[in-house]
Amino acid sequence: MVKIDPDRLLTDLKRLRNFGATGPGVVRLALSPVDLESRRWLAGRMAEAGLDAVIDGVGTVFGRSRKSGPALVIGSHTDTQPTGGWLDGAMGVIYGLEIARALAENDTTSHLAVDVASWIDEEGTFSGLLGSRSFVGEPVEESIRRAANREGQHLQDVLEAAGLAGLPRARFEQGRHVAYLEPHIEQGGRLEAAGKSIGVVTTIVGLRELRLRFTGQRNHAGTTPMSIRRDAGAALVAFIPQMNDAFAQLADADTVWTVGRIDLDPGSLSVVPGGADMYLQFRDANTARLQAMEETLVALVRDFNAQGPLNVELTTVDEPMEPVTMDAALAAHLASAADAVAPGQWLRVPSGAAHDAQVIARCMPACMMFVPSIGGMSHDFIEDTAEEHIVLGCQVAATAAAAILQEQWARQS
């Protein structure tokens, strides 16, 4: 069995953590100065591992093996949320780097090709899952032209300032890239609650991201009687319980929805809000249920507008993402590896989070593997995973990677 180097793995993970370290967490937003610095460091580490490493035209770091034959792509992302954890995405990228090294150092696997990726902007600072969407050949030029972050920086300008605009982009290579593996922290509490160390992912949920813009009338907060106010903020707040009740009638135990952001115009204590924006996301593994939730929301908006006197407009924030089932044959390799390395310590789990794997699955078989998140916490500075689980997960992933590639070689011989 191929053996990883735990010390090397953890050293690289902790070094990556230093880029944007903030308390116990990390702030490393996509294409920020510290993110770009970390990408240059990562490309250097890939080159030291014998990979041909580049930062491509959208910011993805891609390390291509020089070996011929079928290649397994292993990757995730290294950008973070505004209050991010140190392992979300980053662990999977460093797993890929360590697995590429470990296979190269083993005489029985040294001929196997592993390409390693850190996809840009998985977290959606500018345009969610941009790197993986570009990789599979989705036309992302319009996204690049119109995308901007919350500070108003335009993606095109940021790419040009970084010297990346116009550079070649990493792309799926038909005939070479045979499978994709994305190791990740669970970001939930199923594994910890079950006392297990490894999760073999079955399905990644789909999601919808929408904005509801309530329009009323600004007015003086002291002189405008309550009876004649057209308060957009109050209307938004009153709308949420109606939406919650309607969604609850459609939901099952794994359906989730979140009002993640509310903006008031003008946002002053002395002004009745004339405008209010609510940013809504909902997720489910069932496409029909997602559609039903969206139709229900449209009906609620229609009823609201019919009643007056305020108006609400529903628009899409980002392209909808459909649920994706992970490849059964690859999942079987992960399960076999877990049986060999961590017998009795694994189970099959769904992913409630979106991942690049669901995009990559459009062009080649894809699979995911989880390790436990302490307290089920992620997208927060306190996110963490026990080092023993990090190391164990990497050994399982390396074992599976070798088996996947050896099977591919056997098919071609």
**By three-state DSSP, how is residue 222 classified?**
coil
- Whether 212 and 280 have beta carbons less than 8 Å apart is answered as yes
- For 307, residues 6+ apart whose C-beta sits below 8 A from its C-beta are none
Surface-to-core class of residue 376, CB atoms within 10 Å of its CB (0-12 exposed, 13-18 middle, 19+ buried): middle
Query: CA 206 to CA 286: how far, in whole Å?
Result: 8
Query: CA 163 to CA 148: how far, in whole Å?
Result: 18
- For 67, residues 6+ apart whose C-beta sits below 8 A from its C-beta are 111, 112, 113
Query: CA 312 to CA 314: how far, in whole Å?
Result: 7
Mean pLDDT value of segment 318-342? 95
Q: 167-195, pLDDT tens digit by residue?
A: 999 999 999 999 999 999 999 999 999 99
- For 401, residues 6+ apart whose C-beta sits below 8 A from its C-beta are 72, 74, 99, 103, 112, 114, 181
Terminal Cα distance for the chain, rounded: 22
pLDDT band at 358 (very low <50, low <70, confident <90, very high): very high
* DSSP-assigned letters across all residues of 291-356: HHHHHHHHHHHHHHHHH-SSEEEEEESS--B--EEPPHHHHHHHHHHHHHHSTTSEEEEEE-S--T
Query: According to the model, what pLDDT value does residue 319 have?
Result: 80
What does the buried/exposed string (b/e) look like for 197-233 if buried means 16 or more CB atoms within 10 Å of the residue's CB? bbbbbbbbbbbbbbebbbbbbbbeeeebeeeebbbbb
Q: 24-46, pLDDT tens digit by residue?
A: 999 999 999 999 999 999 999 99
Can you read off the two tokens belonging to residue 220? 């003086």
Average pLDDT, rounded, for the chain? 97
- Whether 64 and 20 have beta carbons less than 8 Å apart is answered as no
Tokens 């489910």 identify what position? 284
Domain ranges of the chain: 6-205+323-412, 206-316
Query: According to the model, what pLDDT value does residue 412 have?
Result: 83
- Whether 269 and 281 have beta carbons less than 8 Å apart is answered as no
pLDDT band at 318 (very low <50, low <70, confident <90, very high): confident
Say if residue 407's pLDDT is above 90: yes
pTM: 0.88
Tokens 């069932």 identify what position? 286
Fold classified for 206-316? Alpha-Beta Plaits (3.30.70)
Query: CA 179 to CA 202: how far, in whole Å?
Result: 16
Q: 84-137, pLDDT tens digit by residue?
A: 999 999 999 999 999 999 999 999 999 999 999 999 999 999 999 999 999 999
Fold classified for 6-205+323-412? Aminopeptidase (3.40.630)
**DSSP symbol at 31:** T
Q: 256-285, pLDDT tens digit by residue?
A: 999 999 999 999 999 999 999 999 999 999
Name the percent of the chain lying above pLDDT 90: 97
Query: According to the model, what pLDDT value does residue 279 have?
Result: 97
